[in-house]
Structure 1
């Protein structure tokens, strides 16, 4: 399987290791120091639709696309947030994945797998993170629409929706003393499983959607959140 993984944070790297093969793994600013063996690293800004289209077209024999891109930002009440920051968040976390999916649909043709990694903030909302929660919620409607558009083919489109996950970013948030730290500490404390997720647990959910027996599952949202959001 030839897989493009957009985003090389903790979840993206775990997905690359779980999926195996020789994935194409992208990053925006910081090249990962420990990519899995066989991975090809490419720099990509998902908010640039031309760059996205060119990169996707350059991957021969593409079978699957996984998008894990996110925007690092401070938490702030929406009424006080710089509108430009909110727009950057939405551009990265909603419009960026849309750019990737648009290009992927052209490259995949009538068969392939697409998985977008969102967040359970898209279901429940997060205090001080309204723009990101809105972007993540937008992914859910987008994926369901694309799943309907591609349902007569062997293309599937799904969302993996993690709760708090033990990555470097979460560690930075929890160690702080600002609004983000307070909100995230409260969120972690509310997880029924009494722990955060491991990146490998998120990667396992991604692997299911890419697997050979997942062709009848499309337009779905799978929360991997320790029971934080039960529906």
Structure 2
């Protein structure tokens, strides 16, 4: 399942950063970047869009107006607000228009990754629910709630954690700590600490790789 994303952001540097980061996430594809309200409307008509990353403050309109237009036309896109708009009324109106997430600038790459991962789980739950009962409904809405993470151990950084997640999430291939270390530029011991953190948090699977005459290796694969 590929999530088709429209980035709506009027600041060119921020727009490029959002596009670059989204395209590094396995299962996500940016179909267009819009810098204005009018460009966003055109892009929504020209592409299949599953998710809009929406800046509220646009030069020719407000993000809330775009939300209202989406809802009035029953457009199927979901929306995550990615904005510096901190006005409580804007937040309330965005919630009433059905945004599935609200991310305040400035934010870290890890925070954006968490929102996108939550959305991927949310969409997967929507598409795999064959019949509706309370358990199924709860699973869908729980997917967009923040995950409880195992506390990040001292000495580990959120930025490197993102790199490890992206490496494992980019393919179905299982990797050892040595293989991860070679790809992200750390020592094997450091890579193993990140991998063990993710395994303890239930975000990667651990298994043993046998073969050859040496000792078996522990390998890690995205859950």
The higher radius of gyration belongs to 2
Q: Flag the structure with more relative contact order, 1 or 2, with Cα contacts below 8 A and sequence separation at least 6.
A: 1
- TM-score normalised to the size of structure 2? 0.43
Higher percent of residues as strand:
2
